[in-house]
Amino acid sequence: MAMQPMTAALVLVLTVGILATGCGSDDTEASTSEASPNVTRSTKAPVSDIVGRWARVVTCRELTQDLDKAGLGPLAPYAWLGQTSSAGASSFASGSPRPTRAHPCPGALPRRHSHFFGAAGQFGSLDWLGGQVDDGHYVVAGDGTLKIGIVTFHYRVVHDTLRLTPVLTKAMVRQALARPKKFSDALWAVSVAYPGQTWKRVPCGQWC
């Protein structure tokens, strides 16, 4: 889904090597080195298992069902309208009728979509043509939890598959329902995750 760049970017903190520096004379440094021959001067934290690029074919039906489950059903007629390419190409077949609450997906086209999570904390999404349609930062906040901007997600990586579940606050849901035609954090979070669906790891290319 083509979204506005994330303004509340958070940077993933990776622990980089700590350079050990001695104090005092050269003799002191030599003595310290001799006394501790196995001291490791730099260490790096393990790279998170979320790092990589993850793809799947997304559909309007999946998105509207996920919105219903999240209590965001009124957003359904407008959700797939936002599933455009970076150049603005639609995900509806030409001549399709306007989506309605009863029929939110007439003429909707399945689209291949992917997300990437870089080792330095960069996050983004790519449309079916390979254009970037989302841009931000993420941080792993705990075991199985990460934040993209201000939104928290639970995630699970098993082998080369990923599942994402957004944590929607009551305030996020209220804001989205108050203006269902407008972009909202809740709509964005559901369209990023497709809760319950599986994303497959694919080659990163230039992205992560």
CB contact set of 68 (below 8 Å; sequence gap of 6+): 76
Q: What is the pLDDT of residue 47?
A: 67
pTM of the model: 0.77
Q: Which two tokens stand for residue 133?
A: 């349609």
CA distances from 199 to 32, 59, 136, 193 (A): 50, 13, 19, 9
Taking each helix axis from N to C terminus, what angle separates 60-69 and 185-193, rounded to the nearest 10 degrees? 120
CB contact set of 199 (below 8 Å; sequence gap of 6+): 54, 55, 56, 114, 115, 161, 162, 163, 164
Q: What is the rounded CA–CA span in Å between residue 51 and residue 188?
A: 21
Q: Which two tokens stand for residue 58?
A: 């997304």
Phi and psi at residue 125, in whole multiples of 5°?
Answer: -130, 150
Count helices and strands in the chain by DSSP H and E runs:
5, 8
Q: What is the pLDDT of residue 46?
A: 54
Q: What is the pLDDT along the chain (208 residues), one digit of tens a residue?
A: 544 433 333 233 323 333 333 333 333 333 333 333 343 343 444 568 999 999 999 999 999 999 999 999 999 999 999 999 999 999 999 999 999 999 999 999 999 999 999 999 999 999 999 999 999 999 998 889 999 999 999 999 999 999 999 999 999 999 999 999 999 999 999 999 999 899 999 999 999 8
Q: What is the pLDDT of residue 142?
A: 84
